[in-house]
Amino acid sequence: GDSVTQMEGPVTLSEEAFLTINCTYTATGYPSLFWYVQYPGEGLQLLLKATKADDKGSNKGFEATYRKETTSFHLEKGSVQVSDSAVYFCALRSSSARQLTFGSGTQLTVLP
Amino acid sequence: NAGVTQTPKFQVLKTGQSMTLQCAQDMNHNSMYWYRQDPGMGLRLIYYSASEGTTDKGEVPNGYNVSRLNKREFSLRLESAAPSQTSVYFCASSEDGITQETQYFGPGTRLLVL
């Protein structure tokens, strides 16, 4: 079945540091890939997505590239801010499934 | 636009009690979903509704029932709550349920079963 493996946290960085959160997946066919962010006390919000191989999703300085050859969708940001502190979820949806399949989430804390 | 709203925000139940979690969306979406979030496990689908009048089981449906009351509302019922149902519950919606579509999430209901 479909699965998502995500870098375990928690991750603690200083402001302006470079961020990478690794995500790899197993799925049939050609899934769509997503990064969702959950700020404290809130629901999940879509951060970015990519729907086919080599697509790059980007939003708010975050980027992720759909790499079919390595089945990966790593999240990166060049310079994190304190306001980026949140839990980040990698997810996929294959054409055969109704639901999103989520990774376990990575807690990011950015210190001033 | 309120998006996806959920009530209540927080609930404490005793084992064996029943309750209904409410969800409504104002985006005219056809598909709606109920997920539960447990520590270290991401979100798992409980039930979904592809359109008004239809519901289907997800990954973890045992102990739950759902009702798609109309296009806007999708409720989740626990008939006899168990401690294993302590979790955070999220409702989500999407326009048509196709693969590349974004799902929009509500703020969640935190449930504690004693």
> Quick one: pLDDT at residue B97?
63
> Quick one: pLDDT at residue B1?
67
The residue ranking higher by pLDDT, B100 or A41, is A41
A77 lies within 8 A of chain B by CB: no
Q: Do B43 and A34 touch (CB under 8 A)?
A: no
- Confidence band, pLDDT 50/70/90 cuts, at residue A28: confident
Query: Which of B36, B43, B93, B103 to mutate: most A Cβ within 10 Å?
Result: B43
A80 lies within 8 A of chain B by CB: no
> Quick one: pLDDT at residue B68?
96
The residue ranking higher by pLDDT, A100 or B85, is B85
Please name the helix (run of DSSP H) or strand (run of DSSP E) that holds residue A27, with its range, or none.
Answer: none
Nearest CA-CA partner of A38 in B98, B95, B92: B92
Reported as a single tens digit per residue, the pLDDT across A34-73 is: 999 999 888 899 999 999 999 999 999 999 999 999 999 9
For chain A, what is the mean pLDDT? 93
Does A82 score more than 70 pLDDT?
yes
> Quick one: pLDDT at residue B99?
63
Average pLDDT over residues A6-32: 93
Average pLDDT over residues A90-98: 84
Q: Do A44 and B48 touch (CB under 8 A)?
A: no
Chain B contacts of A4, Cβ < 8 Å? 42
Average pLDDT over residues A97-108: 88
Nearest CA-CA partner of A34 in B96, B68, B40, B99: B99
Cβ density class A88-110: b for 16+ within 10 Å, e for less: bbbbbbbeebbbbbbbbbbebeb
